[in-house]
Amino acid sequence: MIILGIETSCDDTGAAVVDGLHLRSNVISTQRVHRRFGGIVPELASRSHVRLVMPVIREALDQAGCTVNDVQGIAVTYGPGLAGSLLVGLSVAKGLSLARGIPFVGINHLEGHIWANALAHPDMEPPFVVLIVSGGHTQLVLVRSWGDYRLLGRTRDDAAGEAFDKVGKLLELGYPGGPVIEKTASAGDPGAVTFPRAFLEEGSLDFSFSGVKTAVLNHVRALGVEEARKRQADIAAAFQDAVVDVLVRKTLAAAAGTRVRLVCLAGGVAVNRTLQERMARRLSEQGIRVVFPPEALCADNGGMVARAGAFYLSQGRGSDPDLAPCPSLNFQ
């Protein structure tokens, strides 16, 4: 079954074609306009999607060697995300569905990130725990079977990626913060500064990163602007170490509590090499396998949406034409 996937939840315009289990194309257009503002401007994001979505879809179809006439179903993100951005992708999907007389299905963006692992590792099977870690989300989810999820823990304030962005701006490293902090941290000493780890109440699998962000702010203020610039690498390394430490230890606790033997990473922050290496090392000590998608499938992309859509549409589970964007959608 040939499925077209459309992703417009935030600032990446993505489209992809999946044929069964095979990813035939995956095109992503990242909006650069937001960098000057140090964060996503929702109005600019939705306008950019309007301009980019059809060219991106055409490129995905061209790379897949097919036309819209070959598409048998459409999958599109309907939440969570920015309302205006979601509306663009959802409107296009509905229009194509109506024009071609083919079904469409709305996909939970967070579930899409889980399915990205299935594209990269088609042999994997539930049950497993997934850590979804991105600019907008930090969650631990138990996948009991495909389509059956239980939320184990979520962030109570800043997501990990959001904290990276804010600290990147604070250290004058630029936006987005994840890549620049990781690069800067590679030349620093994570033991030069000790930033706090928020583990919350005993047994909690929730996250909190506002405290470590504030600790970095206070440390920079105490040093002064010039001294902080000189110590950027050490501060970045210590901050990254604190965030990764919490992510790994919470994930290890989730795996132990659910007795799974497989853990997946998903979302944009999953490309962080320190996180990947430390997670693999700590969990392998417990005999737990760790997998994660390649970088292109960690970012917001149409491939993960198309793969999730293929699962539902193959069972005849489409969406109604009145499906509306759901900016605050989560797992039940």
Look up residue 227 and give its two tokens: 């001294």
The DSSP annotation for 82-139 comes to -HHHHHHHHHHHHHHHHHHT--EEEEEHHHHHHHHHHHH-TT--SSEEEEEESSS-EE
pLDDT in tens, 275-298: 999 999 999 999 999 999 999 999
Percent of the chain with pLDDT over 90: 89
Q: What is the rounded CA–CA span in Å between residue 38 and residue 236?
A: 18
Percent of the chain with pLDDT over 70: 97
φ/ψ of 259, rounded to 5, equals 60, 35
Domain 2-114+297-313 grouped into CATH 3.30.420.40: yes
Q: What is the rounded CA–CA span in Å between residue 95 and residue 104?
A: 10
Cα of first residue to Cα of last residue in the chain, in angstroms, is 29
> Is the bond leading into 80 cis (omega within 30 degrees of zero)?
yes
The pLDDT score that the predictor gives to residue 292 is 94
Which superfamily does CATH assign the domain made up of 125-295 to? ATPase, nucleotide binding domain (3.30.420.40)
What is the pTM assigned to this prediction? 0.92
Q: How confident is the model at residue 36 (pLDDT cuts 50, 70, 90)?
A: low
Cα separation values, 115 from 145, 252, 265, 266, 277, Å: 12, 21, 11, 9, 22
The pLDDT score that the predictor gives to residue 34 is 62
List beta partners, residue 14.
7, 28
Cβ atoms 133, 267 nearer than 8 A: yes
Look up residue 216 and give its two tokens: 């970095």
Which amino acid, 325?
Answer: P
Mean confidence (pLDDT) of the chain: 94
Q: What is the rounded CA–CA span in Å between residue 132 and residue 154?
A: 9
Look up residue 163 and give its two tokens: 């904290």
Mean per-residue pLDDT, 256-269: 96
pLDDT in tens, 58-104: 999 999 999 999 999 999 999 999 999 999 999 999 999 999 999 99
Which amino acid, 49?
Answer: H
Residue with tokens 């040939």: 2
Sign of CA dihedral 219, 222, 223, 228: positive
Give the domain ranges of the chain: 2-114+297-313, 125-295
3-class DSSP assignment, residue 15: strand
Look up residue 109 and give its two tokens: 């963006």
Closest CA to 229 of 195, 274, 184, 166: 184
